[in-house]
Structure 1
Amino acid sequence: MTFALVWVLGILAAPAAGAAQEETLRVGSKRFTESYVLAEIMAQQAQAAGVKTQVRQGLGNTAIVYEALRSGQIDVYAEYSGTIALEIAKHAQGSDVAALNQALAHEGLAVGVPLGFNDGYALAMRRAQAEELGIRTLSDLARHPSLRFGLSNEFIGRGDGWPGLAKRYSLQAKPQGLDHGLAYEAVTQKHIDVMDIYTTDAKIDHLGLLVLEDDQAYFPRYDALLLYRQELPTQKPVAWAALQKLQGRISEEAMIGMNAQAELNGQSFAEIAKQFLAGGAPQAVADTSGDAKAGGQPSFGARLWSRLVAPDLWRLTAQHLALVLISVGVAALIAVPAGILLFPHARSRALALGAAGVLQTIPSLALLAVLIAWFGVIGRLPALVALTAYSILPILSNTCAGLAEVSPGLRSAGSALGMTRPQRMRWVELPIAMPTVIAGIRTACAIGIGTATIAAFIGAGGLGERIVTGLALNDSALMMAGALPAAALALLSELVFELWERYLRRRRVRR
């Protein structure tokens, strides 16, 4: 039944995907500030030429966004030459455009339109601490093995990241994996000493960090350019012509300014892109070190309220509810009949519950990554399958538990009245077991509402989009603006199920 469900969902998704491919330029982004901004710039540049666009923000790390491009889920996204050469096309004979195109040709992909700036990897630490310890270069770090490294999880696993860097500079530290946005908070609070940064990050100077010199030239250049599907210029020539006008337009200073507008001034990515394309220079960064009265910045409560009631609230809430209701509904259609069929067979029932329990123990992000590789798509399909898998165990186990509550005497009475087994199940056993079954569906909904926030990491939408973006910007107000509505949905779900159970109890008493 699960495989049939997956097949049906895939068939239903295919026409919509095909229509979008014909009519819309689909722009993707990774899950950090600069990628969000560049995606909006590309989309608005195409829109100005009359092209309909779809922006799929915050899809995840390089592997996920690259898989989305390779499988045709998006048409283009902003990538970096060093990342393509060392992480994507590992056999590339250089990081220039010609070498990268030669290495990517067999994948049906191409690179082009250099945007005009280099955004490289580097390590940074608090300036005061670095001066106290006499650290200026990466080679100096080897003399201080007690320093605490907090590095992004992607950097720790990249081919051009920590493993090669540690080997080149003989670094013995065991880094702690952190989200890139949270690492800035960790280093300023002195929870870590060294972090990886992008050289166009806005918070480097703002937080008083020192970028350590790569004295052995480990890191290559990371020139920003467009990574796209080879057929984009021929299939969507108007969009491609518009994107080519971005070549060389973004300087490193402009990119740092736009990142600052998002991370320090709290401007939306769309507004930043609009200002840039209109020819406006990035505005001066406001001082966020003071409180609302001293620095002129809004309080946390004001920022939370403005983000909470933003226009995307109802759209994200509807997407979140759709993910939960569809997945729990499908899980109920699978688990309740399965529980009825398996209940008389103790061994088969135990095996099924064990298998469902194993699914429940798989970390959600790991399961999503496996499903992306399996289906070759990102977005709602793998998210729905994962949420359905997590919802099966509570419904299946409660269905079996509810049927076990039916006394043998009642079963015998039904048989004595001439009922067949299906009739007895319908009129005697299921009505008695129904409150327990509903409790299982109630639990599945609670699990689904919480887990559905993770779906935003693969572009499936929902209230998790705010949490993911808040992580990228280290914006606690934005994260809370996603978490609070999700919590409200969970409370509303509990209220609905409580009222439903009371109704069933009153109806049962009347009967």
Structure 2
Amino acid sequence: MSRRTSPLLALVVLATLALGACGANTERDASQQPQGATLRVTIGTQEFPEALVLGELWRQALAVNGYAVNLRKAVGPAEDLDQALRDGDVDGYVAYTGTVLSIVADQEVTGLDPTATYDAVRDYYEGQGMVVSEQTPFQNKDAIAVADAFAEDNGLSSIGDLGDLDSFVLGARPEFEDLQLGLTGLRDVYGLDNAEFVPAELGEQYAMLDDGDAQAVDAFTTDPQLSGGKYTLLEDPELLFGSQNVVMVVDEDKLASIDSEAFMNVIDTVNSELSEDAMVEMNAEVTDGRSESDVARSFLRRVGLMTPLRNR
């Protein structure tokens, strides 16, 4: 038998070598452009509508850019999501910086502005083998709301101004009464000893303002009710309630395997578009019955993020 390689065999050998070279360069090529379903990631969210919208925004934007995303909705509160990430049940999750700092890291949040809070969260997670995205412009944090007319009649612009009233009724979820980031803190930081507390189920506090059953209520800064322009959020100059911007927290090892630069570019680009007004509007749409998936899709189309970022 001749020891020479036949032309057909030579072609087979060359093809095999070429395929082997492609396999060897898969990781390098993936760092240049996502490769579809091979880039799989699981993202977890909390249970309330805004967190579900955020998860959908990230999922859909990532999908457009070549990622296959499993969105695990309503995993639980921050501590449950953090544990799920540590256990490997999710690869990343929707996180609020102040909640991470106070609940997960057990650190003080009062007095910290968004930058200081973000830096503390990033430093905390760097020691845990996790990475955080850039934060959103919007915050969703506790605030004190009053009716526009009541604010105008009494010259109210900040929380401390409530101390000038003889007395006022404060409506809030029951646990707010004994929280440092609640009525206890309002008394300690702003001297609001003139507040009469009345418990209200979450979501009912705005009706208390409308009916005159309370003059001030605990609110969240992206509540859908704020889209109507009927209420004033009082400023919190002492930052009693800290800061609550949104980030993605993601496992460092997982991030390294799914093209970290491209992945974080998608998340950071979406986050940069999320103003407070945008989130109030999206929350209001979900409250009115539209699905979070449709709400997210419409927003991404509106800001031009339903096409791959490499095409921008």
Q: TM-score range by the shorter chain?
A: 0.5 to 0.7
- The answer to whether the Cα contact below 8 Å between 1:29 and 1:57 also exists between their aligned partners in 2 is yes
Equivalent in 272, 284, 294 of residue 295 of structure 2: 272
1:210 paired to 2:232: yes
Give me the identity figure in percent: 25
- The answer to whether the Cα contact below 8 Å between 2:227 and 2:280 also exists between their aligned partners in 1 is no
Equivalent in 189, 192, 212 of residue 214 of structure 2: 192
- Please give the per-residue CA displacement for 1:40-62, whole angstroms capped at 9, x wherever unaligned: 10111222234333333334443
For residue 278 of structure 1, give the secondary structure of its aligned residue in structure 2: helix
**Matched residue, 2:62:** 46
1:271 offset after TM fit, Å?
Answer: 0.5
* Higher share in helix: 1
**Matched residue, 1:253:** 277
**Matched residue, 1:30:** 46
Equivalent in 145, 149, 155 of residue 128 of structure 1: 149
**Matched residue, 1:229:** 251
1:250 offset after TM fit, Å?
Answer: 2.1
- Please give the per-residue CA displacement for 1:346-401, whole angstroms capped at 9, x wherever unaligned: xxxxxxxxxxxxxxxxxxxxxxxxxxxxxxxxxxxxxxxxxxxxxxxxxxxxxxxx
**Matched residue, 1:151:** 172
- Please give the per-residue CA displacement for 1:314-363, whole angstroms capped at 9, x wherever unaligned: xxxxxxxxxxxxxxxxxxxxxxxxxxxxxxxxxxxxxxxxxxxxxxxxxx
What's the RMSD between the two structures over aligned residues? 3.4
Give the counterpart letter for 1:36 in structure 2. Answer: L
- The answer to whether the Cα contact below 8 Å between 2:227 and 2:284 also exists between their aligned partners in 1 is no
Pick closer, same or farther for the CA change 1:99–1:135 going to 2, 3 Å: closer
**Matched residue, 1:79:** 95
Give the counterpart letter for 2:160 in structure 1. Answer: S
**Matched residue, 1:139:** 160
Partner Cα distance (2:150, 2:85) in 1: 42
Partner Cα distance (2:82, 2:176) in 1: 16
1:115 paired to 2:115: no
* Higher share in strand: 2
For residue 240 of structure 2, give the secondary structure of its aligned residue in structure 1: coil
**Matched residue, 1:169:** 190
Specify every segment of 5 or more residues in structure 2 that has no aligned partner in the other structure, as ranges: 1-37, 305-312
Pick closer, same or farther for the CA change 1:35–1:162 going to 2, 3 Å: farther
**Matched residue, 2:24:** none
1:110 offset after TM fit, Å?
Answer: 3.1
1:155 offset after TM fit, Å?
Answer: 5.3
Give the counterpart letter for 2:235 in structure 1. Answer: E
- Please give the per-residue CA displacement for 1:131-162, whole angstroms capped at 9, x wherever unaligned: 44444321122344743322246756766444
Give the counterpart letter for 1:276 in structure 2. Answer: F
Pick closer, same or farther for the CA change 1:262–1:70 going to 2, 3 Å: same
**Under a length normalisation based on structure 1, what TM-score does the superposition of the two structures give?**
0.44
- The answer to whether the Cα contact below 8 Å between 2:61 and 2:300 also exists between their aligned partners in 1 is yes
Partner Cα distance (1:79, 1:36) in 2: 12
Give the counterpart letter for 1:204 in structure 2. Answer: L
Partner Cα distance (1:251, 1:155) in 2: 27
Counting only pairs closer than 5 Å after superposition, residues 297-446 of structure 1 correspond to structure 2 as: none
For residue 164 of structure 1, give the secondary structure of its aligned residue in structure 2: helix
- Please give the per-residue CA displacement for 1:147-180, whole angstroms capped at 9, x wherever unaligned: 3322246756766444333310122346455443
Pick closer, same or farther for the CA change 1:137–1:37 going to 2, 3 Å: same
- The answer to whether the Cα contact below 8 Å between 1:85 and 1:91 also exists between their aligned partners in 2 is yes
Specify every segment of 5 or more residues in structure 1 that has no aligned partner in the other structure, as ranges: 1-21, 282-511
Q: Which has the higher contact order (CA 8 A, sep 6+)?
A: 2
